[in-house]
Structure 1
Amino acid sequence: MSQLFLCEKSSQAKILAQHLGANSYVSNAWHGQNVTVVAAQGHLLELAKLDEYVGKGTWKIEDLPVLPQEWVLQVKADERSQELFKTIGHYLKMADHVVIATDPDDEGELIGRDLINAHNYQGKTSRLWVSALNTDGLSKALSSLLPLSATDGYWRAAAIRRKLDWLFGMNLSRAFSVKLGKTTHVGRIKTRLLAELVKRDREIAEFKPVAFHEVVATMSGAELRYDSGMAAHALLDEDVLSMLSGLYGATGVVTSVLEDAIEVAPPLPYTLSALLVDGAALGVGLFNGYTAAQALYVAGAISYPRSGSTATPSVGSAAFAAHSAIVTTGELPASATEEMTCIYNLVQSNLRMQELGAVTINRRTIMVDVRGHAFRLQEQWVKPGKEGFAGALQSDHPLYRKYQALNIRPGKAYRKGEKLVVSDVTVKKLATAAPAPYNEASILKMVAENSIGTEATRVSSINSLVKDGVAVASEQTDAHGAVLRAPIILRSTDWAQGLASKLPASVMGGEMTLQVKAAQDAARHGDESLDRHLLDATKWMLWVMPESSYRDGN
């Protein structure tokens, strides 16, 4: 054997092996003439637990924080990982040329580098960087293998992220577990999610509705709303309500007709988070949507899914070798599940919307005076012949209802000075509504908009909320108790509410994320002094740890 391709997943390895003509599967690898393809099945190595550095025994806050002088990287303890690590080592010893063919991102780079470094491989190495596992994508990437120096930034960024997350998670989780007398999970992403979830539930619990009146007058079949000139949610005096109710049969005069048009661009090309949010709106849970997207990628149907880019690649160009928005790269597999079909159709529809471009929306505002009282009618409709992307929306798309309503063109044109007779007046006393609780789609949208976590970690972090006991999940139901095809509702537990009140604000906020981002940015730009970021993180933890003598000035 002369060439070894090191993949991240078995399904990925199988597709690459077929492309390379390595069709014989023996001893956990695909073999062909002078080529072998093997899969690591994700991270086989991990940083050692805290006990490796402080020893086993009673947990003590005074032992913390721990900043390892020599980081220990260990093979995961399970039998499968141990055996696979040995298998890959065997093939590395036989290889003249190793090609890292893991996923094209930070974590994929870390998986490959960990393995060749752990086995002290000294031979020739290259990087296969491909975002589309179809014939064209693989052929182009294989014809232009990269030196590892080209992806050093990804590796260094992932390595410093792993160390910082270890520092935060291991030290702070142990410190607050000791302080609170209960296992407590603290980390860069999960603690920020906890903070946002608790904040929203507190806003709901403390919400006080504000009463207001809505007055609607019907004129020439159209419903016009009373414009008090005050806040949108105004509570009207009884005298005003009495006068408004008495407008039945009165004649109003159109005082102004304002018309304009706006162009609405199609939704941005899909990132993974945006795709999963739309999938959740159609009843595909985050985890199932994530799994479906990965399966479609492995089948060569869509491009690499763990992407945060909204840039659309030029089909047939080398742009597929870099990260891009999620696009279709092949046909929907015949064996596709319902979830895979839904995700594929969303990607396909999104691409079609990009091709059709913006939709033009006509807008019209009519003001009518009735005995000195102002009423407003606002109309919007899609301009005929300028439907743009709205013309591609299918009935199961999340945006369909919105634009379907805009397809109804107003039946009447209004002129300034025109007289209208009030045929009905309706007065309603309403109240403002509390914020909606988070569901798995809305919390994913929130973390994406605030750059919390990455496309590779957000779904697992959201799922861990329930596992860690800080959230409970419930299905949405209709008035009759029937389960809806809608995102799962997430509410904070009593333990989460108590924990949020005990953790320092800087731990609950975005400080850990800021530190990781700064370190990763430095790593991507070739900064050689990354240890200073570990020292800065350790100093910060000294300030935020419970019973910190450092914070007290000792």
Structure 2
Amino acid sequence: MRLIIAEKPSLARAIADALPGGTKREDGALRGHDTVVTWCLGHLLEQAPPDAYDSAYKQWRLDHLPILPTRWQLAPRAKARSQLAVIRKLLKQAREVVHAGDPDREGQLLVQEVIEYLGWKGPVARLLINDLNRPAVQRALSRMEDNARYQPLYRAAESRSRADWLYGINLTRAWTLTGRQAGHDGVLSVGRVQTPVLGLVVRRDAEIRDFKPYPFYVLWADLAVANGSLRAWWQPGEQQRLDEQGRLLERAPAEALAARLPGAEGRLTSLESRQKRQAAPLPYSLSALQVDAARRFGLSAQAVLDICQRLYERHKLITYPRSDCRYLPEEHLAQARATLTGACAQDETLRGWLAGADFTLRSKAWDDRKVGAHHALAPTGKPAELARLERAEADVFRLIARNVLAQFYPPLIAREVKAEFTILGERFRASGQELLQPGWKPLFTTRDEAPPLPPLSEGEGCRVTASAVEDRETRPPEPFTDASLIKAMMNIARYVDDPEVKRTLREHDGLGTEATRAGIIETLIERGYLVRQNKALRATRLGSGLIASLPETATRPERTALWEQRLTAIAERDDDPAPFLSALVDDLRGLLSKADTQRLRQAMAAAQGEAAAASPRTARRKSPGKRRRSRSEPGRSRSKPRRNA
């Protein structure tokens, strides 16, 4: 008997449906002619608790730390014992075993650790399924590989699991016990990913809280030119008092120039024009989808993940969603027309987009070299009856289908123009963009672009018809939202100061994984470290106090991102995990030595004082109304350039 062990029941059902001759249900399994399909329920096993190694560890004590297992143990999860017993019984009857975990690091771990825990000694085949539709599953069943090929992936996942245990167990116990001594009654949870994510929010909140606005001034002039009119902006020179972004800090020079401008004549002294060609955005990874869905529909990252799981498992409308890849296999290109026609047939919006697609085009999205265990999210081709889906499910499905359809649209082509005028010896700048070919753009927005500049010729004259000085004020950075925090986790190197580390992380960017980022945000909320205020994510007093009490290195992303780099090396290059874990233990000892009762007490008190001081300011501060801004207007009113978060 061949035994296939799937990661979850939905995957097991899809495999059973693809087997010849059908299957019948029995306790914890689906039995076919010569094949039985059973399943895990996510992780059936977990790292054993500290007291499994020594009963003394049931009591939390600082003098026990660090707790360092010499021989690692796994333990069944409480709700998994019955399914584990089913798999144990079936393994005794099996002549061959097939590992059918999801095609990623965690999927490799959770099935393989069960197979090894239950003592199977025979060979194991690996079944990799990205798409739950029957033809795709049948193709996967015909292409099974030797599971030995994925041993490095398993070792990386196992190392991650052990490292997380060491880091979380020891630091959580240390800071919880120190917190009790400082008067805090409750667990202070510390994790290798959740704590740096909390640190990002705490530091952003501090920037907002400590921000000191100041005024600056801009001067614009409406100009009549040979073929129309435009608005240009004064560029004050170095003789004026400017901030680091070149903004004018005194009103008097702008007023003096404005008084001289009416009717003044000048000349176009510099004209730059260039044609810009922009390809369509790539198909989605999960994180990229979470960012867009949060911005467009106000969905939390966890809601998007849950929706994608339903579209994948229940409705079978999309391919495997927990992907960090934005490229598609080249073999999918030949079936793209049929796949998208099926997916779009029953929705008016999608049919309209499909009608404009040119399937003779090939974008850079189709690239086997950039596809690993996963490929980008894509429709499976099953007809999507969006009217029968929840509204949010239909919205997310349209986004996924749209980004694949966009690969069959021509590029957007625009002409960008920058003009500089000299008037009364002063420089004025204007810029505009003319859309020459919309290409894929109508699939993404229906908003009108700002009007282009009129036709211009270098050297032509101009005359000022109106002008004014505007009072502006710098604004603090925006608080994090689900969208911006997910994007920050994806592009964590931007939040690293050390230039060497920043360079290293550009190739191994990311805090957390596609599968865990949404859960990290929800965990921080559940533990009382973050709260949602409308769309904003803000740190609580408890969250701010915890970050202030920890060594800074435990609250910043460098260590965590470098962990991921080491784990990737284990998975891809078969590096030895031992040096990674040994270096972690040395690091852990240093962090534990910095647990300090007085520091924690002061941190909690300071966080409470800051929260109390910020509340009245927050209540008084009114959100400024949105004002439509010309393309040629100077940048946002901020004292610092906003990070692309």
Normalising by structure 1, what TM-score?
0.89
Instruction: State yes or no: 1:424 paired with 2:483.
Output: no
Task: Judge conservation of contact 1:542–1:548 (CA < 8 Å) in 2.
Answer: no
The Cα shift of 1:437 comes to 0.2
- Between 177-186 and 364-373, the greater mean CA deviation after superposition: 364-373
Query: SS of the counterpart of 2:60?
Result: coil
Pick closer, same or farther for the CA change 1:513–1:417 going to 2, 3 Å.
closer
Instruction: State yes or no: 1:347 paired with 2:400.
Output: yes
Count the aligned residue pairs: 522
For 1:64, the equivalent position in structure 2 comes to 65
Task: Judge conservation of contact 1:523–1:530 (CA < 8 Å) in 2.
Answer: no
The Cα shift of 1:84 comes to 1.3
Q: Distance in 1 between matches of 2:98 and 2:547?
A: 46
For 1:252, the equivalent position in structure 2 comes to 266
Instruction: State yes or no: 1:196 paired with 2:238.
Output: no
For 1:226, the equivalent position in structure 2 comes to 234
What's the CA shift string for 1:214-247, capped at 9, x where partnerless?
1111123422111214543222451442222331
Matched AA of 1:458: R
Query: SS of the counterpart of 2:125?
Result: strand
Q: Distance in 2 between matches of 1:536 and 1:82?
A: 35
Matched AA of 1:75: P
Q: Which of 531, 536, 553 is 1:489 aligned to? A: 536
The Cα shift of 1:199 comes to 0.8
Matched AA of 1:474: Q
The Cα shift of 1:311 comes to 2.2
Task: Judge conservation of contact 1:254–1:369 (CA < 8 Å) in 2.
Answer: yes
What's the CA shift string for 1:31-79, capped at 9, x where partnerless?
221222222120010001223234255421111111101111000123x
Q: Distance in 1 between matches of 2:218 and 2:140?
A: 62
Matched AA of 2:170: N
Instruction: State yes or no: 1:440 paired with 2:482.
Output: yes
Query: SS of the counterpart of 1:310?
Result: coil
For 2:583, the equivalent position in structure 1 comes to 536
Query: SS of the counterpart of 2:4?
Result: strand
Matched AA of 2:223: M
Task: After TM superposition, list the pairs within 5 Å mapping 1:268-279 onto structure 2.
Answer: 268-279=282-293
Instruction: State yes or no: 1:29 paired with 2:33.
Output: no
For 1:301, the equivalent position in structure 2 comes to 317
Pick closer, same or farther for the CA change 1:547–1:34 going to 2, 3 Å.
same
Q: Distance in 1 between matches of 2:142 and 2:18?
A: 13
Task: After TM superposition, list the pairs within 5 Å mapping 1:312-391 onto structure 2.
Answer: 312-316=328-332, 322-331=373-382, 333-334=384-385, 335-383=388-436, 386-391=437-442
Matched AA of 1:454: T
Q: Distance in 2 between matches of 1:322 and 1:12?
A: 17
Matched AA of 1:370: I
For 2:444, the equivalent position in structure 1 comes to 393
Task: Judge conservation of contact 1:156–1:524 (CA < 8 Å) in 2.
Answer: no
Q: Distance in 2 between matches of 1:15 and 1:336?
A: 20
Matched AA of 2:512: G
Pick closer, same or farther for the CA change 1:245–1:19 going to 2, 3 Å.
farther
Instruction: State yes or no: 1:498 paired with 2:545.
Output: yes
Q: Distance in 2 between matches of 1:154 and 1:414?
A: 60
Task: After TM superposition, list the pairs within 5 Å mapping 1:136-215 onto structure 2.
Answer: 136-181=135-180, 182-215=186-219
Query: SS of the counterpart of 2:53?
Result: helix
Pick closer, same or farther for the CA change 1:3–1:317 going to 2, 3 Å.
farther
For 1:474, the equivalent position in structure 2 comes to 533
Query: SS of the counterpart of 2:78?
Result: coil
For 2:86, the equivalent position in structure 1 comes to 87
- Between 171-180 and 53-62, the greater mean CA deviation after superposition: 53-62
RMSD: 2.2
Q: Distance in 1 between matches of 2:203 and 2:48?
A: 34
Query: SS of the counterpart of 2:222?
Result: strand
Query: SS of the counterpart of 1:500?
Result: helix
Q: Which of 326, 341, 345 is 1:310 aligned to? A: 326
Task: Judge conservation of contact 2:23–2:33 (CA < 8 Å) in 1.
Answer: no
For 1:454, the equivalent position in structure 2 comes to 513
For 1:3, the equivalent position in structure 2 comes to 2
Task: Judge conservation of contact 2:412–2:441 (CA < 8 Å) in 1.
Answer: yes
What's the CA shift string for 1:457-516, capped at 9, x where partnerless?
1111111111121111122xxxxxxxxxxxx31001111221111101121122244245
What's the CA shift string for 1:423-470, capped at 9, x where partnerless?
211211101110000001100000011211111111111111111211
The Cα shift of 1:370 comes to 2.2
Gaps of 5+ in 2: 181-185, 239-244, 335-367, 493-509, 597-645
What's the CA shift string for 1:392-448, capped at 9, x where partnerless?
3354xxxxx4xx416x444x2122333333221121110111000000110000001
What's the CA shift string for 1:125-161, capped at 9, x where partnerless?
2110122222342222111111111111211110111
Query: SS of the counterpart of 1:379?
Result: strand
For 2:601, the equivalent position in structure 1 comes to none
Q: Distance in 2 between matches of 1:245 and 1:54?
A: 83
Q: Which of 561, 565, 571 is 1:517 aligned to? A: 565
For 2:103, the equivalent position in structure 1 comes to 104
- Between 453-462 and 330-339, the greater mean CA deviation after superposition: 330-339
Pick closer, same or farther for the CA change 1:409–1:371 going to 2, 3 Å.
closer
Q: Distance in 1 between matches of 2:15 and 2:131?
A: 11
Task: Judge conservation of contact 1:164–1:516 (CA < 8 Å) in 2.
Answer: no
Q: Distance in 2 between matches of 1:141 and 1:205?
A: 54
Q: Distance in 1 between matches of 2:65 and 2:308?
A: 41
Q: Distance in 1 between matches of 2:376 and 2:529?
A: 33
Q: Distance in 1 between matches of 2:301 and 2:564?
A: 25
Matched AA of 1:62: D
Q: Distance in 2 between matches of 1:352 and 1:32?
A: 39
The Cα shift of 1:190 comes to 0.3
Task: Judge conservation of contact 1:130–1:322 (CA < 8 Å) in 2.
Answer: no
Q: Distance in 2 between matches of 1:512 and 1:239?
A: 50
Query: SS of the counterpart of 2:478?
Result: coil
Pick closer, same or farther for the CA change 1:95–1:289 going to 2, 3 Å.
same
Q: Percent identity?
A: 29
- Between 466-475 and 324-333, the greater mean CA deviation after superposition: 324-333
The Cα shift of 1:83 comes to 1.2
The Cα shift of 1:179 comes to 1.2
For 2:183, the equivalent position in structure 1 comes to none
Pick closer, same or farther for the CA change 1:312–1:229 going to 2, 3 Å.
farther
Q: Distance in 1 between matches of 2:560 and 2:292?
A: 29
Task: Judge conservation of contact 1:4–1:92 (CA < 8 Å) in 2.
Answer: yes
For 2:12, the equivalent position in structure 1 comes to 13
The Cα shift of 1:350 comes to 0.9
Matched AA of 1:390: K
Matched AA of 2:516: T
Q: Distance in 2 between matches of 1:489 and 1:301?
A: 31
Matched AA of 1:405: E
Q: Distance in 2 between matches of 1:90 and 1:313?
A: 39
What's the CA shift string for 1:61-116, capped at 9, x where partnerless?
111111101111000123xx111111222222222222111110111111111111
Q: Distance in 1 between matches of 2:219 and 2:316?
A: 56
Query: SS of the counterpart of 2:419?
Result: strand
The Cα shift of 1:359 comes to 1.6
- Between 331-340 and 427-436, the greater mean CA deviation after superposition: 331-340
Matched AA of 2:449: A
The Cα shift of 1:171 comes to 0.7
The Cα shift of 1:376 comes to 1.3
Pick closer, same or farther for the CA change 1:447–1:4 going to 2, 3 Å.
same
Q: Distance in 1 between matches of 2:516 and 2:583?
A: 24
